[in-house]
Amino acid sequence: SPLGLSINVKFATEVPFQGPAGLFGDVVWNQVSDNQGNQPLYGDFKNELIQTEAQVSWVSPSVQSAQNIIGGTPGDQALMGTYLESPSEIQIQGLDQTERHQDRLNYRIILYTYGGREGEAGEYFVNEQNPELSVDMGFFDGHFSEGPLGNMVVFERLMDPNLFIRTTGHAPINAMTIMYCLKGDFDCDGHVDVNDLETLNEAIKNEDEDIDLDFDLNLDLTVSHDDVMTWIKCAKGTCVGDVNLDGVFNSDDLVELFTEGLYNTDNEATWTSGDWNGDCRFDSDDLVLAFIEGCYETEAVFARSHASVTQANDFSGTHASQVPEPNTLTLFAFASAWLGLLKRRRGP
């Protein structure tokens, strides 16, 4: 996938086709024409073919041709042109055996489902998970939509190295995409961004109610602010103070901070509004932490976008002995910018 690593399978191939095709515009497609035994699967890593250890096998009572495909790219039309009739079964093994994905296994599945008949329903099961009854109304215009009236079904936050997919009723399958999630990409949209950070913060707030170890990035069996520090330094590859997450802590971040107006107030703050130590407030303790990190107007010291989870522990906020002391010039620049902004905000 252009967004990272995916494994894409086109079932019931009658005429070979080339991408880009599908929701993410994937280029590398495994085109399967029969159901005889296990077949090896190639991956698509940023539109480049890579080898994996994954294998697929499937059975279906028949292969059908879809009709009246409107719009879409030539690749999309070919992708949706044939489908497996229900009831069908698909087995995939070895999804954890790929050199391009070394983090904890986490992926989503997109089943392309064009070929339905109005008024006929079917169900899609992935490892016996069933999102809801899914009906395909038989219309495709190049814009994929999720849900009971769409032409794809999405299963999220899967972590099993092996998959068993089955259908009942009238539930066609044209193809499937397995999209591997980046570490810290909790919504699996191919980007490690502020939405994921906010999701992590919400999980920490609810940690007493229900511990979800999907958010345990430093593998200490808890969900805490240490996971935020791991997300910042390893998943995102930046440092304390970078509130706009552009990879550097500079005056742009200070302007954004003081525009929020939460410094030394009782109002709740998040990472993007100055809470860097996890106490839900923006105050001098957060600024002290930023001083210690020493990232002001320099590239992020701890940028480790491809670090393993084990390495993430070494760069968490609890390892202060590994944090380099900021130099005097950095401290002076940061303090001057901060005091200047604060003075202008308060007035003469």
* Cβ atoms < 10 Å from Cβ of 181: 28
Q: Which pLDDT value is given to residue 133?
A: 44
CA 276/CA 110 separation, integer angstroms: 36
Q: What value, to the nearest 5°, has the Cα angle with vertex 96 and ends 95 and 99?
A: 110
Task: Judge whether 151 and 145 are in contact, CB under 8 Å.
Answer: yes
Q: Which pLDDT value is given to residue 138?
A: 46
Look at residue 341 and tell me whether its pLDDT is greater than 60.
Answer: no
The residue to which tokens 């805490």 are assigned: 224
- Whole-prediction pTM: 0.64
Spatial CA neighbour of 8 closest among 57, 35, 43 = 43
- Reported as a pLDDT band with limits 50, 70 and 90, residue 159 is confident
- List the single range of 29-38, 44-53, 178-187 with lowest mean pLDDT: 29-38
* Cβ atoms < 10 Å from Cβ of 209: 7
For residue 203, report the phi and psi dihedrals to the nearest 5 degrees: -65, -35
One-character DSSP codes across 20-69: SBTTTTB---EE----SS-EEEEEEETTEEEEEEEEEEEE-S-EEE----
User: Average pLDDT of the chain?
Assistant: 74
Q: In this predicted model, what pLDDT tens digit does every residue of 127-157 receive, in sequence order? A: 876 544 444 544 444 444 544 455 777 787 7
- Reported as a pLDDT band with limits 50, 70 and 90, residue 219 is low
Look at residue 210 and tell me whether its pLDDT is greater than 80.
Answer: no
* Torsional sign, CA 152, 158, 163, 164: negative
CA 311/CA 304 separation, integer angstroms: 9
For residues 185-202, give the mean pLDDT. Answer: 85
Max mean pLDDT range (87-96, 102-111, 220-229, 285-294): 87-96
**Three-state SS for 178?**
strand
Class of domain 5-180: mainly beta
Q: What value, to the nearest 5°, has the Cα angle with vertex 88 and ends 90 and 94?
A: 5
CA 227/CA 254 separation, integer angstroms: 24
Distant-in-sequence, close-in-space partners of 253: CB < 8 Å, separation ≥ 6: 241, 242, 243, 244
For residues 160-165, give the mean pLDDT. Answer: 92
Tokens of 332: 């002076």
Spatial CA neighbour of 291 closest among 243, 341, 327, 252 = 327
Look at residue 338 and tell me whether its pLDDT is greater than 90.
Answer: no
Q: What is the DSSP letter of 339?
A: H
Mode of pairing for the β-strands spanning 152-158 and 82-84: unpaired
Look at residue 65 and tell me whether its pLDDT is greater than 50.
Answer: yes
Per-domain boundaries in the chain: 5-180, 194-346
For residue 82, report the phi and psi dihedrals to the nearest 5 degrees: -135, 160
Burial group, residue 298, by CB count within 10 angstroms (0-12, 13-18, 19+): middle
For residues 272-290, give the mean pLDDT. Answer: 87
